[in-house]
Amino acid sequence: MNQISRRQMMASATALTILGTSSAARAGSVNDRLNVAFIGVGNQGMGLLKRFLAADLGNVAMVCDVNRGSYGYKEEDHFYGREPARDFVNDYYTRHRGKGNYNTCTATEDWREVIARDDIDAVWLVVPDHWHRPMAVTAAAAGKAIYCEKPQSLTIADGQAMVAAVREHGVVLQTGSHERSNPVSQFICEAAKAGKIGPIRRVVTTVGYNNKVGPGPGWKAEPVPDGFDYQTWLGNAPKVPYHHDRCLYRFRFNYDYSGGQITNFGAHSNDMAQWGLGRDLDGPVSIQALEAKFLPEGSLFNTATETKFRCVYEDGVELICQSGPEQVQTRFEGEDGWLQTGYRGTTASSPNLLDGLPEKPSGTDDVLTRHMRNFLDCVRTGDEPRAYVEVGHSTASLCHIGNIAIRRHAQHGDQTLDWDPKKQTFAQEDANDLLTRNRA
């Protein structure tokens, strides 16, 4: 993959220059505002939308969601959807712009309507993973810049299609692996890459345990709520009965729509691992599942509840990805010491390794806001964002082959899979069947 993507990156330089005179041309200068739309305004989408408004990053012209509005996202009292999002934007502009009532932000349930609008410069795709490829490919063909939430794709085949579309049409895509915009993560990963702890021998990454519990075998279908377009939500996933635990925040625990916590938290911790190893566009050559636990057959949630797998890179460096508390996301172990960082802080084998460690930003300049700002700056200039499309694809690919290994482990027992990171294929031919998914 890294050889192909580098050629694509060089060939796309002209296309990115063209981008600077297309959607960004309406902005006039790097200080002018872009018109954006949010597709998907649930738990993560509303969080990003509120940060976008608070930091005054541009004009929110449109919001889109198949849910008109309801409670029951990550927490039961979260009331999200297209109408709450639209009203929030218009109320915010009314209160902060001081020029009467604003009703300039519109809402739709049809994402194609968003992409068809000529005045939209960039779109935020904050939707279940199985919708990333169709939306991103369509948006790229329409010349829209794309902020795509992590993990970048549902499958490796989907990720390959997204890379090809972005490079063919010369648009900017930022993956939502926002640790790339965290100065603390930048410090640790760059220190590891620079050899501050000597040659790295091992990296340990953590993905969180499942934080929601779904119904077990024998669960019963429920009526589709009024105002929720369930068939569009399913899209090209298998046509199955509705249950509230299948949708909204909980989609991530079903393989039809996501990859569990390996692709959720792993899109951060494993991204930092490859970053610190200097392997942003690379991958391991072998992968072995060490532990895998699943709910009983017939449960609505079918992704692994606990996992541990081992990857080995061409030079012998190993990566262990395991379920656990999220205090430590990524730990680099070198011949001369160790560095680790996570949600509960950053530590090292020697205090001097942390000399110059910056503060994690907060408020209206927090990490997520910085990541969105970096994306918009690149939309204007045509530069590559911090988590550009090949980086997002490489990280997602690592997570995907981890899932493939643990799913096969459950079926076939202990097995090491040989992986070619350039061709993106397994030596074990039957494992390649899991590089894509069946579509409805």
What SS3 state is found at 384? Answer: coil
Closest CA to 29 of 269, 426, 380: 380
Could you check whether the bond before residue 151 is cis, i.e. omega within 30 degrees of 0? yes
**Do both 201 and 249 map to the same domain?**
yes
**Do both 115 and 187 map to the same domain?**
no
Are the beta carbons of 222 and 242 closer than 8 angstroms? yes
Closest CA to 383 of 144, 205, 173: 173
Closest CA to 123 of 52, 227, 180, 26: 52
Distances, alpha carbon 375 to alpha carbons 64, 382, 432, in Å: 20, 10, 33
**Do both 39 and 135 map to the same domain?**
yes
Residue 440 lies in a domain: no
**Do both 52 and 18 map to the same domain?**
yes
Instruction: For residues 72 and 125, give the distance between their C-alpha atoms in angstroms, rounded to a whole number.
Output: 20
Q: With a threshold of 0.85, does the pTM exceed it?
A: yes
Q: Phi-psi region for residue 235, left (φ > 0), alpha (ψ -120 to 50) or beta?
A: left
Domain holding 282, by residue range, is 183-358+394-435
**Do both 170 and 188 map to the same domain?**
no
- 440 residues of the chain, pLDDT tens digit each: 433 343 343 333 333 333 333 444 444 334 479 999 999 999 999 999 999 999 999 999 999 999 999 999 999 999 999 999 999 999 999 999 877 788 999 999 999 999 999 999 999 999 999 999 999 999 999 999 999 999 999 999 999 999 999 999 999 999 999 999 999 999 999 999 999 999 999 999 999 999 999 999 999 999 999 999 999 999 999 999 999 999 999 999 999 999 999 999 999 999 999 999 999 999 999 999 999 999 999 999 999 999 999 999 999 999 999 999 877 899 999 999 999 999 889 999 999 999 999 999 999 999 999 999 999 999 999 999 999 999 999 999 999 999 999 999 888 777 899 999 999 999 999 999 999 987 65
Tell me how many domains the chain contains. 2
Residue 347 lies in a domain: yes
Q: Torsions phi, psi of 397, nearest 5?
A: -60, -40
Q: Is 421 exposed, middle or buried, given 0-12, 13-18 or 19+ CB atoms closer than 10 A?
A: buried
**Do both 145 and 274 map to the same domain?**
no
Domain with 267 in it: what CATH number? 3.30.360.10
**Do both 174 and 195 map to the same domain?**
no
Strand partners, 163: none
Closest CA to 202 of 38, 348, 111, 319: 319
Domain with 35 in it: what CATH number? 3.40.50.720
For CA atoms 35, 56, 386, 332, give the dihedral sign.
negative
Residue 370, H or E segment = helix 367-381
What SS3 state is found at 43? Answer: helix
**Do both 196 and 341 map to the same domain?**
yes
**Do both 83 and 102 map to the same domain?**
yes
Residue 314 lies in a domain: yes
